[in-house]
């Protein structure tokens, strides 16, 4: 094998290595993107959970208000007994 053939094989080998590296870079880029998307989904899910909790608290407060309007005497008695228990 002469120098020209060795150089040609070295170039072919380098091209194969570069192609392999490009495939790895593409794969890693996809994985990084997927992880980034997952992280965004985690943040969105956390935000949505907070919003659901806030809505639940508002709903509970609204139910309490409606109960106090519907049965003011019972509501006062219940609240007073809750205060006594807490003391």
Of 10-19, 48-57, 66-75, the range with the lowest mean pLDDT is 66-75
Answer yes or no: is pLDDT of 34 > 80.
yes
Please give the Cα distance from 4 to 37 (Å, whole number). Answer: 49
Mean pLDDT calculated for residue range 2-24: 88
Is the predicted pLDDT of residue 28 greater than 70, yes or no?
yes
Model pLDDT for residues 18-27, shown as the tens digit of each residue: 889 999 999 9
Range of the domain at 44: 3-86
How far apart (Å, rounded) are the C-alpha atoms in residues 20 and 27?
A: 11
Measured CA to CA, the distance from residue 79 to residue 28 in angstroms comes to: 60
Interatomic CA distance for residues 68 and 80, integer angstroms? 13
How does 65-83 read in b/e, with b if 16+ C-beta sit within 10 Å? eeeeeeeeeeeeeeeeeee
Q: Which residue has the tokens 């969105």?
A: 44
Q: How many domains does the chain have?
A: 1
């Amino acid at each position: 094998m002469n120098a020209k053939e060795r150089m040609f094989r070295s170039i072919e080998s380098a091209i194969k290595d570069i192609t392999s590296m490009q495939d790895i870079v593409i794969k890693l880029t996809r994985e990084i993107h997927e992880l980034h998307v997952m992280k965004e989904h985690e943040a969105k899910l956390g935000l949505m959970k907070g919003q659901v909790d806030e809505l639940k608290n508002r709903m509970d407060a609204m139910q309490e208000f409606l109960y106090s309007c519907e049965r003011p005497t019972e509501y006062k008695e219940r609240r007073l007994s809750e205060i006594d228990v807490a003391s």
